[in-house]
């Protein structure tokens, strides 16, 4: 596998995580092929467009903040298809800062390299490993730059 293939797939995974955390539908969409499928178990199974609608509603209703981090990205390429497993730790601050939910999971993805689109997710399965919850924490340390879950977030500034 070339370094370019590895970089393109890893970049798509990172775009997805950033899109989820910033609630940016276009960024999430950019990680999937237009006919992509997402399987989050019994809570959601369906097309990427339906997934984006569902996940953004869930995030807005339940959480003030999220942070998705990936490690242990394994890629097995077979021509224009790649089987990818990524370890995930996801942090979710509940509405009002009441608690922090931390999830350990894996994304098991089939990436496809398609003309004009490149390497993107064709099929994703979320595999849950564990979950914990912590109460009584400070959601945002005083004096730090405030985060936003949209394009007003400092990460979108180019000044």
- Average pLDDT of every residue of the chain: 94
Q: Kindly tell me if the per-residue pLDDT of 71 is higher than 70.
A: yes
Architecture of domain 3-156: Roll (3.10)
Q: Kindly tell me if the per-residue pLDDT of 80 is higher than 70.
A: yes
pLDDT greater at residue 150 or residue 116: 116
Quote the percentage of the chain above a pLDDT of 70. Answer: 97
Q: Kindly tell me if the per-residue pLDDT of 79 is higher than 90.
A: yes
Q: What is the pLDDT of residue 29?
A: 98
DSSP classification of residue 47:
E
- The 10s digit of each residue's pLDDT in 11-29 is 999 999 999 999 999 999 9
Q: How far apart are the first and last CA of the chain?
A: 37
- The 10s digit of each residue's pLDDT in 35-52 is 999 999 999 999 999 999
How far from 7 is each of 2, 3, 13, 134, CA to CA, in Å? Answer: 9, 6, 10, 35
* Beta carbons within 8 Å of 15's beta carbon, 6+ residues apart: 27, 28, 30, 31
Cα 147 from Cα 81, distance rounded (Å)? 36
Cα 155 from Cα 51, distance rounded (Å)? 24
Q: What is the pLDDT of residue 139?
A: 60
Q: What is the pLDDT of residue 154?
A: 86
Dihedral class, residue 122 (left if φ above 0, else alpha if ψ from -120 to 50, else beta): alpha
What's the whole-number mean pLDDT along residues 104-115? 98
Domain ranges in the chain? Answer: 3-156
Tally Cβ neighbours within 10 Å of residue 36: 21
Q: What is the pLDDT of residue 68?
A: 98
């Amino acid at each position: 596998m070339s370094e370019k293939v590895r970089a393109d797939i890893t970049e798509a995974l990172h775009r997805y995580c950033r899109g989820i955390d910033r609630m940016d539908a276009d960024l999430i969409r950019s990680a999937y092929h237009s006919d992509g499928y997402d399987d989050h178990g019994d809570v959601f199974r369906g097309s990427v467009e339906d997934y984006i609608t569902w996940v953004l509603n869930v995030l807005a209703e339940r959480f003030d903040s999220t942070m998705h981090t990936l490690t242990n990205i394994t890629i097995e390429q077979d021509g224009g298809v790649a089987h990818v497993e990524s370890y995930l730790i996801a942090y979710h601050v509940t509405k009002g800062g009441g608690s922090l939910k931390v999830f350990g999971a894996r994304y098991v993805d089939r990436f496809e390299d398609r003309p004009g689109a490149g390497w993107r997710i064709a099929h994703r399965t979320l595999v849950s490993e564990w979950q914990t919850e912590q109460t009584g924490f400070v959601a945002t340390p005083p004096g730090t730059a405030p985060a936003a879950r949209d394009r007003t977030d400092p990460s979108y500034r180019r000044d």
